[in-house]
Amino acid sequence: MKVLLLAGGWSPEREVSLKGGEQIAAALKERGHSVTLCDPAKDFERLMDMAREHDAAFINLHGAPGEDGLVQAILDRVNCPYQGAGPAGSFLALHKAAARQIFRDAGLNIPDGVFLPRHPGPNWKPDLQYPMFVKSNTGGSSLHLSRVTNEEELYTALNSLFSMGEEAIVETAVVGREVTCGVLGEEALAPILVVSKGNYFDYHNKYAPDGAQEICPAPIAPEETAKVQDAALRAHHALGLKGYSRADFILQDDGTLYILEVNTTPGMTSTSLVPREAAVKGMSFADLVERLLELALER
C-alpha cells in the first residue's frame, strides 16, 4: 500500500512530530508498505496532489496543522482515508474551551475554570482558588503550561500567553493521581499512572529521559480502572472521534474523576503512552501502526 506520512508541520511540537514520524515510517516499511513523507511546512501546497497519489494517509502532526482538522478536511476533499478523528472532532478536541462544554454535556467532571479569548486586564481576579493552571487554549504537549500560586505568577503566565497571540484557559488545580487512557477502535486500553517529578506533567516530564515515571497498567483498583476506561470512551464518543484517542484525567482519592483533555493524534514513538498501552494487549508498535491503517481504510 502507498502511504502518505504527514509529520513535521509548523507548530511548536514539530520536532516531536518528526521523531514519531521516523518510527512510524519504519513500522510501515516493516509491514511492506511504501512510504512518502509529507511535511506540511514544506509541502502544504502540494498536499492534495500528493494525497491523490496514495492509498491512505497516516497523520502524525501535533498542534496546528494536524490536530485542528485542517489536514483532515483537505484529505476528505480528495477521498484519501486517514487514521483518527475527522475535521470536526479534531477541532473540538484541540479547542479546550469547546471540549470542556462537550465533556460537561456528556456528564464528565471538569475542573472549575474560565476561557479567556482576550487579556482580561490588570485588575481581573478569577473566581477560582489557587493553585491554578494557565494553559494555551489550543496548545499541546504541555507547552506554555504554567502552575500559578499567586496573582503575580498568574499575570506573568497570562502576559506570556497573550504576547504570543494565544488564547488562555485558567483552571483550578485538581489534586489527585494523574491517569491517562487510550482508545483504539471501540475499546479502551489499559490506563497509565503518571508519576511526575515536580508538581505536574509538563513538557520536560513528557519528553526528557529523566522525566515522569509512567506505570502501565496503572496500579489502581479494578473499579477505578473501569471508571477511567468508561470515561475515556464517553469522551471519545462525545467528541465524535474515530480510530484512536487518548484522554488525560485526575483521579482523586475518593474516586472522583476529572477529565482534563483528549488528544486526537497521541504521541507515536515506541515508548509513547498509547503504544505502551497497546503493548499490554500484546500489540507491537508495528501491530499498532498496522491496526490504525486498517481503521483508516474501514472508514
Could you state, in order of their start, the residue ranges of all structural domains in the chain? 2-83, 91-109+175-264, 113-172
pLDDT at residue number 166: 92
User: For the domain 91-109+175-264, what is the CATH code?
Assistant: 3.30.470.20
pTM: 0.91
Task: Single out the residue of 195, 193, 161 nearest to residue 180, CA to CA.
Answer: 193
248 annotated binding-site participant: yes
pLDDT at residue number 141: 44
Element spanning 34, H or E? strand 34-38
Tell me whether strands 146-148 and 132-136 are parallel, antiparallel or unpaired.
antiparallel
Structural fold of domain 113-172? Dna Ligase; domain 1 (3.30.1490)
Q: Is the peptide bond before 65 cis (omega within 30 degrees of 0)?
A: yes
pLDDT at residue number 209: 52
Architecture of the structural domain at 2-83: 3-Layer(aba) Sandwich (3.40)
Sign of CA dihedral 10, 13, 19, 23: negative
Per-position pLDDT tens, the chain of length 299:
999 999 999 998 899 999 999 999 999 999 999 999 999 999 999 999 999 999 999 999 998 899 999 999 999 999 999 999 999 999 999 999 999 999 999 999 999 999 999 999 989 999 999 999 999 998 764 567 999 999 999 999 999 999 999 999 999 999 999 999 999 999 999 999 999 776 655 544 444 455 679 999 999 999 999 999 999 999 999 999 999 999 999 999 999 999 999 999 999 998 999 999 999 999 999 999 999 999 999 97
Residues 11 and 261: their CA atoms lie apart, in Å, by 19
Tell me whether strands 34-38 and 2-7 are parallel, antiparallel or unpaired.
parallel
pLDDT at residue number 105: 98
Backbone angles phi, psi at 172, to 5 degrees: -65, 135
pLDDT at residue number 204: 44
pLDDT at residue number 45: 97
123 annotated binding-site participant: no
Known catalytic residues are 13, 141, 272
Residues 75 and 90: their CA atoms lie apart, in Å, by 13
Q: Based on C-alpha coordinates, what's the Rg of the chain?
A: 19
Q: Is the separation of the CB atoms in 97 and 73 below 8 Å?
A: no
Residues 73 and 11: their CA atoms lie apart, in Å, by 18
